[in-house]
Amino acid sequence: MLVFILNAGSSSLKYQLMNPVIKKVFASGICERIGIDGVLKHEYGDGKELKLEIDMPTHKEAIEAVLSTLTVGEGKVIDSVNDIEAIGHRAVHGGEEFSGSVMVTNKVIDTMKRLIPLAPLHNPANILGMEICQELMPGKPNVAVFDTAFHQTMPDYAYMYALPYDQYTKHGIRKYGFHGTSHYYVSNEARQMLDKKHNTRIIVCHLGNGSSVSAVYNGKCIDTSMGLTPVQGLMMGTRSGDVGAGALQYMMSQEGITIDEALNVMNKKSGILGISGKSSDLREVLDGMTAGDDRCRLAVDMVAYNIKKYVGSYVAALDGVDALCFTGGIGENAALIREKVCAGLDAMGLVLDPVKNNKRRKDARDIATNGSHSRIFVIPTNEEYVIANDTYKVVMGNKSC
């Protein structure tokens, strides 16, 4: 089955064309600056690249440009849009309503619209992508794959906030978690690498510009660091992560800013950028630390310390750990962060091999010492495969009904 994978953002559109049955990617790319001017970056074949400047006033023109690039001209990989058999959409927030991937229907879209207050930046763009694909490719099945779905197995004592209970019943205020497709993929890969399907206790650190940690027992999430929104949890590129409510209120009173302005600070001006004063890109901050910049050093130490605290708490929540996994741009590439996170975890059975850790490789690998009681894995994530495979399973399941 040929699946068109779509990840629609507010001013961007990532895509991939994949056959999940044979795990083959035919093309991938991104449309940027939608509503401004429009740039399409397209990868196809054996590493061939194409960059096109195309007017994209809306997402509709962007998707039309992608479909045209896939079927006509230099970047062509299929003969016709009819070759696409299904469309899989990344959907950020499914609330409590969606615990798995579903066929897109009017009811599903209406429910996602009701959930917009929980993800005001993401859900509208996700919905727009679905509606445009329904218009441009009528009759093709569309499937929504939710970031939050994997975390719906958390027990109530893990996802509830200690606010008055009616805040949950009236407004759905609770922890939801994000990056679910990545946590699902990496934890599943780890179970395969352990060659152990039962009583598995796995901690996944998805580390990038946005970062989160999850505790996974027997393939099911029992806790995760992100909360009602993605700002909770770890310190990230521009997000603050965990901040006490009193600190937030005090900052607002001292700066004379509104709650919306304060949330803008927490989401876009904090984290690695806010502490280093240099960049939200950890690579640049690591370079700054090497050059002797103490604020860059502080940012690096805070990033690693925050991850380490969550790892320790999830070892406790899981009553032990079989594998600690690193994934995402930082998790897969920043050996120093992995080293700092694992330092001192020997008593938990996690012993890092410094030689293995510093070898640059792109494949999934074990970087623990041979004598380590528990394993430490670096596993490249593949969220697009999860979306394509879920789309395949939902469509085939629907056909068999």
Tokens of 105: 């229907």
Residue 19 assigned as binding residue: no
Tokens of 56: 């994209």
**Of 161, 153, 157, nearest in space to 183 by CA:** 153
147 is catalytic: yes
Q: What is the DSSP letter of 55?
A: -
Residue 206 assigned as binding residue: yes
Rounded Cα distance, 301 and 110, in Å: 44
Specify which residues 43 forms β-bridges with.
Answer: 28, 49
Q: Where are the alpha helices (DSSP H) in 318-361?
A: 328-333, 335-342, 354-358
Residue 195 assigned as binding residue: no
Residue 90 assigned as binding residue: yes
Catalytic residue among 46, 55, 147, 301: 147
The DSSP secondary structure of 149-173, one letter per residue, reads GGGGGS-HHHH--SS-THHHHHH--
Residue 398 assigned as binding residue: no
Residue 333 assigned as binding residue: yes
Residue 88 assigned as binding residue: no
Distances in Å between the Cα of 401 and the Cα atoms of 203, 393, 395 are 36, 12, 10
Rounded Cα distance, 184 and 20, in Å: 16
Residue 115 assigned as binding residue: no
Residue 106 assigned as binding residue: no
Residue 282 assigned as binding residue: yes
Rounded Cα distance, 275 and 171, in Å: 33
**Of 156, 159, 128, nearest in space to 142 by CA:** 128
Rounded Cα distance, 123 and 331, in Å: 27
Residue 7 assigned as binding residue: yes
Residue 246 assigned as binding residue: no
Residue 207 assigned as binding residue: yes
Q: Residues comprising the binding site for Mg(2+)?
A: 7, 383
Q: Which residues are annotated as a binding site?
A: 7, 14, 90, 206-210, 281-283, 329-333, 383
* Binding site listing for ATP: 14, 206-210, 281-283, 329-333
- Binding residue numbers for substrate: 90
Q: Which residues are catalytic?
A: 147
